[in-house]
Structure 1
Amino acid sequence: MRMSMATGWRAIGRAHWKNRTWRALVSRPCRRQIRGMHDVQTQYLPIRRDAARLVSALLVDESPQPLARIATPSPCAQLVARFGPTVPGGVDVHLLGPQRRVRRKHVGGGHRAILLRLRPGMQPAIAGVAPSESIGSAIAIDDLWGANAANRLRAQLAAAMDANAAAALLQAAIVEQASSARGASPATPRLAFALARLQASGVADVARAVGVSERQLRREFRDLLGLSPKAVARLDRFARAVRAGQSIASPSWAAVAADAGYYDQAHMIADFKAIAGVTPRALLAELRVATPIGGSGFSRPPPDASATLPTPARRTPRR
C-alpha cells in the first residue's frame, strides 16, 4: 500500500512556488537561473559517480501553475518520480519508455517531477523489460521491480527532505537494480559508438565501422533501444530541425531541412506531420504557447546534461 507523503515532500506536493517549503529546495541563484517561460523551473542536478554509467541526465521539473506541456520524442527511456496533490499517495514512480511521437499533456499546478534519462542500452539492466515492450508507454515501478521494492522506494521518497535527497534515492535504487541484473549487454559500448556516427553516415557505413553486419546492427538497436537505426536517425533529424527553427526569427525551411539532414523540405514536412501531427510552422507556433517538459529536446539543457546523441559538424542529407 502506498504511503502518504507524511513529511518533507508532502508539503512540496501541495505548495505553490511561493511556499517557503519548495523555495528551500533550490538555492536562490539557481531559482533565478531556471525561472523561465510560464514560471516553470527546471534544475539539472549532478549525477552520482556510481550512477554515471547508467544515467545521462538528471533534473527536477516543477510546474507551480496548471500548464500545457510538450516534449520531443526520444529513443532513450526515463525513470520518473512525480510528486503532487493529485498523484495517488502523493508520490509515483514509473518508467517512461522510448517515445516516437511528440507528447502533449496538461500538468496541474503544484506538481514536481524528478527525471533520470537512462543511457542508451541501459534500460534492460535497470528496468528488466526490453525497450521494444515499453515504446510509447509509462510502466509503474511495481510492474518492473515488484511491490516490495516499489513500496520501499516510495516510502523513502516520501520521507526525503529535498530534491537532492530524492534524486540520490532514485540513483541508489537503479544502481542496486543494475547490480543485481546480468549486466550490460556486450553490445552496449558498440551502440554508443554507432549512435555517434549514425547522424553523419548510413547504416551500412556504421555497421562496417563497428565491425558487424547491417542485420546484427539493426538487431542490437532493437534489443537495446527498441528502435531501428533508421528510426533513431529520423528522431534526431526531427529534433535538429525543431531547434534550428526555434533559433531563427523567420526560418528558411528549405535551409533548415538541408542543415538537419533531410533530402528536401517536402520530406521534412512529412516527418513533422508523422511525428508531431502538424507542420513545422504550426509546431513552432505551439511551442510559443506550450511549455517544454524539462529535459526534452525542445528545451536547451546545459552542455554537461545534453541530449543523448552528439552533434556532428555537418550531415549528409538522406532520403
Structure 2
Amino acid sequence: MAAPRRDTKGIVDAGELFSRVRFRRREPAEPLRPYLEHYWLIDWDLPQPYASHVVPHPSVNVVFQRFGTRPEDGFGEVSGIGLGLCTQKLEGTGRVCGVQFRPGGFRPFAPGHAVSEWTGRSLALGSVFRDGAPDGAVGGALAGAAQAVLEPDDEHARVAALDAFLLSLGPTPDPRADLAMALAHRIRTDRSILRVSELARAEGLSARTLQRLFAQYVGVGPKWVILRYRIHEALERAETDAAVDWAGLAADLGYADQAHLVRDFTATVGVPPTAYAPSR
C-alpha cells in the first residue's frame, strides 16, 4: 500500500493550520493498511484560540482527543462522514490522534450496521463497537483506550496504541467492503468518472446496486462522493494557484458550467472560490 498522502485536500487554509499546530500523518500496521488511509496526529499549544476548518473526506474517522493536559479528560469517538464544513476551535494545549478509514473500510470493524447510520454523527466508541460483538472482547479493547493512545509523548507509542486498539476489534473480512473501497478509490483517482452512470457502466453494475452498496459500506451515495472529490480538487487548486482558470477547472471536473462549480464550492466552503483564492 502507498505511504500516507502528503496532499492537503480538504483542509481549508492548510498553511495557516500548519503554522499553528504540529500536524503529521503516520502509517498503520501492515494488516490494517487495506482498510485505513492513515493515522493523523495533531498537537497544539496556542497563546490565542484558533478555529480550523476542514471539508471532510467520504471517510469514517475514529478520533481520540484531549483538550488540556489532564489524562482523565481524554476521550474517543467514532465520527461518521461529515456532510458540511467541519469547524473545530482549538485553544490552550491539546492533542488529537485520529484514524482515517478508507471510504468503505470502516464496516469490517463494526459489521453490525450500515455505515450510513453514522453519517453526520459522532458517537462514543462503545455505542458503535459493542453492538453485535462479544462484550468481553470489545470491553477489553475500549477500556483505557483513550489514555493508552493520548498519554505517550512519543508518537511511535501513540501509533502502536492505535494499532493495538484496531487490531483488537478486527477487521472482519468482507468482499463487499473490498468492492466498495475499490469503487471509491476509482472515483478519487479516475478523472473520467464524473457521473454515477459512468461508474456503473464501467463496473458492469446498476446504479441502484451502487447506491445500496455505498449506503451500506461508505455511508453516502456515489454521487455525493463524486461531488466531494470535485470540491477537494477545486479547494486544493485555490490553495496552490492564485490564477485558477475556474471555467476550465469546472469543465475538467465535469460541471456543466462555472456557475455550478461556484455554487457547490460556496455551499461547502462558505465563500465563493474567487473570494477564497486571492487571500491564499
TM-score bucket (shorter structure)? 0.7 to 0.9
Partner of 2:161: 169
Deviation at 1:84, TM superposition (A): 3.0
Deviation string, structure 1 residues 182-219 (Cα, Å, up to 9, x no partner): x2432223223322443422323322332322211111
- Please give the alpha-carbon distance, in whole angstroms, between the structure 2 residues aligned to 1:115 and 1:213: 35
Deviation at 1:91, TM superposition (A): 1.2
| Contact 1:43–1:59 (CA under 8 A) maintained in structure 2 | yes
Partner of 1:188: 177
- Please give the alpha-carbon distance, in whole angstroms, between the structure 1 residues aligned to 2:94 and 2:71: 12
- Please give the alpha-carbon distance, in whole angstroms, between the structure 2 residues aligned to 1:280 and 1:192: 30
Matched, 1:231 2:231: no
Partner of 1:113: 96
- Please give the alpha-carbon distance, in whole angstroms, between the structure 2 residues aligned to 1:36 and 1:205: 37
Matched, 1:122 2:105: yes
Label 1:191 to 1:231 Cα distance change in 2 as closer, same or farther (>3 A).
Answer: same
TM-score, normalised on structure 1? 0.70
Percent same amino acid at aligned positions? Answer: 25
- Please give the alpha-carbon distance, in whole angstroms, between the structure 1 residues aligned to 2:70 and 2:266: 33
Amino acid at match of 1:135: T
| Contact 1:203–1:214 (CA under 8 A) maintained in structure 2 | yes
Label 1:245 to 1:56 Cα distance change in 2 as closer, same or farther (>3 A).
Answer: same
Partner of 2:26: 45
| Contact 1:269–1:279 (CA under 8 A) maintained in structure 2 | yes
Unaligned residue ranges in structure 1 (runs of 5+): 1-33, 289-319
Equivalent residue for 1:79, pick from 44, 49, 62: 62
| Contact 2:71–2:147 (CA under 8 A) maintained in structure 1 | no
Deviation string, structure 1 residues 218-258 (Cα, Å, up to 9, x no partner): 11011111111111000011111111122212323222322
Amino acid at match of 1:44: R
Unaligned residue ranges in structure 2 (runs of 5+): 1-14, 131-137
Deviation string, structure 1 residues 67-122 (Cα, Å, up to 9, x no partner): 11011121111111112317882311111111221112211221111111112222
Partner of 1:58: 39
CA RMSD, aligned part only?
Answer: 2.6
Label 1:259 to 1:93 Cα distance change in 2 as closer, same or farther (>3 A).
Answer: same
Partner of 1:313: none
Alignment of 1:195-274 (within 5 A): 195-198=184-187, 199-201=191-193, 202-274=195-267
Deviation at 1:276, TM superposition (A): 2.4
Partner of 2:4: none
TM-score, normalised on structure 2? 0.79
- Write 1 or 2 for the structure with the bigger share of strand: 2
- Please give the alpha-carbon distance, in whole angstroms, between the structure 1 residues aligned to 2:123 and 2:78: 5
Label 1:263 to 1:158 Cα distance change in 2 as closer, same or farther (>3 A).
Answer: closer
Aligned length: 251
